[in-house]
Amino acid sequence: MKAITSVFLASALLLASCGKDGDSETQLDGKPVLSARVQAETRSRIEFARHVKPILEERCVWCHDGSDKKMPYKLTNREEAFKNKRIVPGKPNQSLFYLAASGQHPTLKMPAVGIKIAPSDLEVLERWISAGAVWPEGAAGQLKGR
Ligand code: HEC
């Protein structure tokens, strides 16, 4: 079992190091967190708990959960996530959160290391911010890393 894991890790690293540009060195393509059927629902309605939370918990919060004191950004609740206009409701392209996750920011490419967000999941995040970035207060809006 251990040997299989090492072989997998070695090939993952090898694949990652074959990236065409420096930015992809430590990033691997990821599968969508949302199924195609669930993703399709977001064309007519977006629910934080069903459509947004699973993506963030799988792809972002395990780093941005506040356990690393040096980490500048906590994505575990609404207040922290929206601080310093990192999420600007209605304006994905002015939201550092979205620019970083979509690779459009000149230097900030998220995730810093690991599995990249799939294009269909990214589309959901864009729709969600465009539609007003509704993120409930209280327990419903509490996220935890995987
Ligand atoms: C492997 C850990 C990791 C993952 C996963 C990750 N990040 Fe980050 N993130 C970092 C680190 C480290 C920094 C600080 C790096 C820097 O400032 O260059 C950072 C910085 C950021 C910042 C800038 C915060 C600020 O104001 O300085 C944003 C926004 C961000 N991440 C969003 C995201 C989003 C959205 C996701 C999910 C798609 C994500 N991150 C996934 C590690 C991670």
Percent of the chain with pLDDT over 70: 83
Domain ranges, ordered by start, for the chain: 1-25, 31-141
Tell me, using a 6 A CB cutoff, whether residue 86 lines ligand 1.
yes
Q: Is the peptide bond before 32 cis (omega within 30 degrees of 0)?
A: no
Look up residue 69 and give its two tokens. 């004191």
Of 53, 63, 69, 116, the one to substitute when testing ligand 1's pocket (max ligand atoms within 8 A of C-beta) is 63
Tell me, using a 6 A CB cutoff, whether residue 73 lines ligand 1.
yes
Q: Which helix (DSSP H) or strand (DSSP E) does residue 28 occupy?
A: strand 27-28
Say if pTM beats, i.e. exceeds, 0.75.
yes
Mean pLDDT, the chain, integer = 85
What is the model's pLDDT at position 99? 97
Expressed in angstroms and rounded, the spacing between residue 116 Cα and the centre of ligand 1 is: 12
